[in-house]
Amino acid sequence: MGDNDTGGLRRSLGVFDAVMIGLGSMIGAGIFAALGPGARAAGSGLLLGLALAALVAYCNATSSARLAARYPASGGTYVYGRERLGDFWGYLAGWGFVVGKTASCAAMALTVGSYAWPSQAHAVAVAAVVALTAVNYAGVQKSAWLTRVIVALVLAVLAAVVVATFASGTVSAEQLRPSGTTVGGVIQAAGLLFFAFAGYARIATLGEEVRDPARTIPRAIPLALGIALAVYTLVAVAAVAVLGPRRLGHATAPLVDTVRAAGTGWLVPVVQVGAAVAALGSLLALVLGVSRTTLAMARDHHLPHWLTAVHPSFRVPHRAELLIGAVVAALAATVDLRDAIGFSSFAVLIYYAVANASAFTLRPDEGRPVRAIPVVGLIGCAILAFAMPLSSVLSGLVVLAIGIAAYAIRRAPRDSDHEEATHD
């Protein structure tokens, strides 16, 4: 039977498309917004925090790539945790991903509004969610083409910022030397900056829509991560070298302040447009990934089963996409989610901790990575998660507890039936 007969999704994405979707998730609003909080936490140790975030992201990417090649189905770590560790751990990863990334979607939508039309930020945010939900509804291939355009525009804007800054004569190498930096500050900065790296998981969650996943996914994830790290490093060096860690730490729009301080004020509107477009790119890929994990969880009855419907023409999980779009639009219309970035990072780091634990159980004939990689990834995720601001940790634990309680309630009748059958 073909995909259309079995209710599967259409495999239409190659390596280039998958890398573009990963870059669209990573090179988004994070690089325009996360540098300020990172500098506040680590001061001149910002680049050390960026390096630590990249190390953890590399371990997560490697573990995710090996698992995605082994289990090329929609759902990402939800599927890996279930297959390698058991039903509960897969559910916990899926719950953390869906809740954390739904908050991220709303934050990205509000970022679009705050840059494009600050006085009407909520209205613009809702419009952005509705428009991109419609794009995703029309099929993943159309989403991939739009993502290509967005990534190209954002990379062009960031390149202009870096070139103009270094050509301005205002950079100072002294600003880059770490001084007065605490270990705790660097770790917290790494957790905040990790928010901007997390997009490579979008490639894994699209496992059911990638051509030749055993070859494509392991190639696409490291490529996307490496490109993003190179871009982030150049931008971070430019910002710190011009503003210094103290000014950067208090900047609400770090790259706008950077080009102004460099004497290239003509770039300000370009950066503002770039930030809005970048947030749109992140929002596009985030909604794509969350809806696919929702589909996988609904298939296993962890979420309402009616969410498993795949559109007969577009071959996308249209009910899951519409539900996620409606929830994100409601949040974007009513809530200020700037503080939710920490909560989102906490939940997503838990998701990746499960991914690393799952990768550790792979056998050599199943493509197991070097054992140190999932170990470092797991420990790194735990450290970064609990180094987040206390309010983010507490809210994250509460939401995870709610999900665990729901799981226990759903399992109770099944366990009771199993015990009765055993006694019989």
Name the nearest CA neighbour of 17 among 308, 160, 211: 211
pLDDT tens-digit series, residues 315-366: 888 899 999 999 999 988 987 756 767 888 899 999 999 999 999 999 998 8
Confidence at residue 116, expressed as pLDDT on a 0 to 100 scale: 79
Name the nearest CA neighbour of 351 among 393, 311, 382: 382
Confidence at residue 201, expressed as pLDDT on a 0 to 100 scale: 63
Whether 314 has a pLDDT exceeding 70, the answer reads yes
- Mean pLDDT over 399-410 rounds to 92
pLDDT tens-digit series, residues 209-253: 777 777 787 788 888 888 888 999 999 999 999 998 888 888 877
Domain count, the chain: 1
Whether 29 has a pLDDT exceeding 80, the answer reads no
What's the rounded Cα separation, in Å, for the pair 63 and 250? 36
The answer as to whether 347 is a domain residue is yes
The answer as to whether 422 is a domain residue is no
Higher pLDDT, 90 or 198: 90
The answer as to whether 99 is a domain residue is yes
The answer as to whether 23 is a domain residue is yes
Whether 4 has a pLDDT exceeding 80, the answer reads no
Whether 91 has a pLDDT exceeding 90, the answer reads yes
Distances (CA, A) of 348 to 36, 229, 235, 279, 342: 21, 19, 24, 18, 10
Whether 403 has a pLDDT exceeding 90, the answer reads yes
Whether 5 has a pLDDT exceeding 60, the answer reads no
With H, G, I as helix, E, B as strand and everything else as coil, classify residue 13. Answer: strand
Confidence at residue 342, expressed as pLDDT on a 0 to 100 scale: 80
Whether 416 has a pLDDT exceeding 70, the answer reads no
Amino acid at 21: I
**Enclosing domain of residue 262:** 15-407
What is the DSSP code (8-state) at residue 303? S
Whether 397 has a pLDDT exceeding 60, the answer reads yes
Q: Name the least confident of 76-90, 95-109, 378-392.
A: 95-109
The answer as to whether 199 is a domain residue is yes
Report yes or no: 128 and 109 within 8 Å, Cβ to Cβ: yes
Phi, psi (deg, nearest 5) at residue 8: -80, 170
What's the rounded Cα separation, in Å, for the pair 91 and 97? 10
Confidence at residue 70, expressed as pLDDT on a 0 to 100 scale: 85
Q: Name the least confident of 200-204, 231-235, 259-263, 264-268.
A: 200-204
What's the rounded Cα separation, in Å, for the pair 146 and 141? 9
Average pLDDT, the chain: 84
The answer as to whether 413 is a domain residue is no
pLDDT tens-digit series, residues 137-149: 877 555 667 777 8
Confidence at residue 11, expressed as pLDDT on a 0 to 100 scale: 67
The answer as to whether 420 is a domain residue is no
pLDDT band at 286 (very low <50, low <70, confident <90, very high): confident
The 3-state secondary structure of 233-257 reads: HHHHHHHHHHHHHHHHHCCCCHHHH
- Mean pLDDT over 371-400 rounds to 93
The answer as to whether 373 is a domain residue is yes
- Mean pLDDT over 366-387 rounds to 94
What's the rounded Cα separation, in Å, for the pair 113 and 109? 7
Report yes or no: 28 and 108 within 8 Å, Cβ to Cβ: yes
Report yes or no: 281 and 104 within 8 Å, Cβ to Cβ: no
Q: Which residues pair with 210 in a beta bridge?
A: 13
Confidence at residue 266, expressed as pLDDT on a 0 to 100 scale: 92
CATH code for position 246: 1.20.1740.10
- Mean pLDDT over 80-93 rounds to 94
Q: Please count the CA atoms within 13 angstroms of the CA of 134 that sit on its side-chain side.
A: 6
List the structure tokens of 184: 């705790």
